[in-house]
Amino acid sequence: MADKPQSGEILGIPYNFERPSMGRMLSSYWQPGKGMLVKKPFGIGYTLNLANWRSWIALVVVGALLWQERSSGGDTVATMDDDDGPVEVIVDDD
């Protein structure tokens, strides 16, 4: 039986199922000179390159959105459900 490859690409999406080492894990998240997204050290897809300033902007924006959502307490859903009562819908089949 043929051995399946542990890393490669499928439809342009990288995968890597080799056992990760600590050095490979650390070096994959910090790659100066590379773009914002780099191949994940283990698994499928891409991850953020923390050596790129754009990654830090993305993390700050995501953090701010999560903080805003949690601090609002979900009030936006409650105001949408506070209607005056049932609504009558008339459908004309003509």
Look at the pTM and tell me if it is higher than 0.75.
no
Q: How do 43-44 and 46-48 pair as beta strands?
A: unpaired
Distances (CA, A) of 45 to 5, 42, 48, 81, 93: 16, 9, 11, 39, 51
The DSSP output letter for 39 is E
Determine the Cα–Cα distance for residues 94 and 63; give it in Å rounded to an integer.
53
Answer yes or no: are the C-beta atoms of 41 and 72 closer than 8 Å. Answer: no
- For the chain, the structural domain boundaries read 7-78
The predicted-structure confidence for 12-60, as pLDDT tens digits, reads as follows 999 999 888 898 888 899 999 999 999 999 999 999 999 999 999 999 9
